[in-house]
Structure 1
């Protein structure tokens, strides 16, 4: 049981961390906070990560209610979510900013805004449709209370790491370098693509088995 839960936790944490992908978001975060002092930058990071974490936790805990309200099955969301994650992964493998998260035009228009911790950093850079659908699918894919708690813990740990990555964003960028960021983004994209295919395949298989 312990080994099974540990394996499930690793899968849940990996899925959430890869889709949030805070390391790749460092460049965007630095760009949006370039004119701020260190204190202001840290305040933006704390507010944005807190907001993103709350949104992810909210949809994780209420996702089944939302699906039932619209009469949508978890397997249907698995298929759609898998396709969405694959499009994000495709952009990442080409070292591009995912259009699901934020566009270059949105980055440019956000430079002068005071509430960038809400949009575009908190939503959708950190918690976009991909993160939300992944959280709902993970929670809907298990009936075990213990595993549901593990998913919530995985979400919280992901955003705690995200906070520290943003707080030390300039040092990380200096240490890894721009090329290092591109390599990391491509590797995360490859891993995300595998998760996306697995998610979509499971959804299709379950739908097919249910129909028969």
Structure 2
């Protein structure tokens, strides 16, 4: 059970930081502002479900897809840690620039009939950053008889919890925007970015340890 809790405490903050549902809800509000409340509620549910599918596929199939191309777990952790840490760093220093880019991506689709999958789910809610984080998290799974079941339970619970958060923030986007205001949104975005950068560094450390650990262990007996 402790393994499941640890997996959840690792997965949920990482997903929350990269998804950033609060800023996403403000974009959702702007894109769907000309639609009736019933339609907006339906779109919010669709975005949440699509986001769950993206996260689950990336969590549990992404590493196998990479393995098919001969990419090792250590390489995935090093690359994924760098991507996540740099993403957090850029967002920490310029959150407004990233959100403005998302607004530009959403703008051409304002008159489309179906905007739930594109662009509201991909790339605005669960884009390349979320996919890379989910793949990296899933790649850190333990062996079959070393807590894999608990790890699967904890990470799946993190994805489900993230789905609920996405649905709630998008469904109540109007109230959220009024409650937080621009200053509050920027503050939450920066806090999430710092947490994301820390998680990326931790993943990077694990990858470097996977690479250097066996080499250092092999040299110690040789010197002895």
Q: State TM-score, norm by structure 2.
A: 0.85
CA RMSD in angstroms, aligned pairs only? 2.0
Q: Tell me, in whole angstroms, the C-alpha distance in 2 between the residues paired with 1:50 and 1:132.
A: 15
Rate the CA distance shift 1:118–1:5 in 2: closer, same or farther, 3 A: closer
Q: Tell me, in whole angstroms, the C-alpha distance in 1 between the residues paired with 2:90 and 2:33.
A: 25
* Match runs of 1:181-200 below 5 Å: 181-200=185-204
Q: Deviations over 1:28-61 (max 9, x none)?
A: 1111111111111111111111111111111212
Hey, what does 2:23 align to over in structure 1? 24
**Secondary structure, in 3 states, of the residue corresponding to 1:98?**
helix
Rate the CA distance shift 1:5–1:46 in 2: closer, same or farther, 3 A: closer
Task: Tell me if the contact between 1:81 and 1:196 (Cα under 8 Å) persists in the aligned partners.
Answer: yes
Hey, what does 2:166 align to over in structure 1? 162
Q: Deviations over 1:166-186 (max 9, x none)?
A: 101110110111111011101
Unaligned runs of 5+ in 2: 143-147, 217-224
Q: Tell me, in whole angstroms, the C-alpha distance in 2 between the residues paired with 1:178 and 1:171.
A: 13
Task: Tell me if the contact between 1:74 and 1:140 (Cα under 8 Å) persists in the aligned partners.
Answer: yes
Task: Tell me if the contact between 2:77 and 2:206 (Cα under 8 Å) persists in the aligned partners.
Answer: yes
Q: Tell me, in whole angstroms, the C-alpha distance in 2 between the residues paired with 1:102 and 1:211.
A: 43
**Secondary structure, in 3 states, of the residue corresponding to 1:96?**
helix
Hey, what does 1:98 align to over in structure 2? 98
* Match runs of 1:1-212 below 5 Å: 2-93=1-92, 94-96=94-96, 98=98, 103-143=102-142, 144-211=148-215
Task: Tell me if the contact between 1:77 and 1:133 (Cα under 8 Å) persists in the aligned partners.
Answer: no
Task: Tell me if the contact between 2:3 and 2:151 (Cα under 8 Å) persists in the aligned partners.
Answer: no
Unaligned runs of 5+ in 1: none
- Bigger fraction of residues in helix: 2
Question: How many aligned positions are there?
Answer: 210
Task: Tell me if the contact between 2:4 and 2:155 (Cα under 8 Å) persists in the aligned partners.
Answer: no
Q: Tell me, in whole angstroms, the C-alpha distance in 2 between the residues paired with 1:15 and 1:179.
A: 23
Question: How many Å apart are 1:110 and its aligned residue?
Answer: 2.1
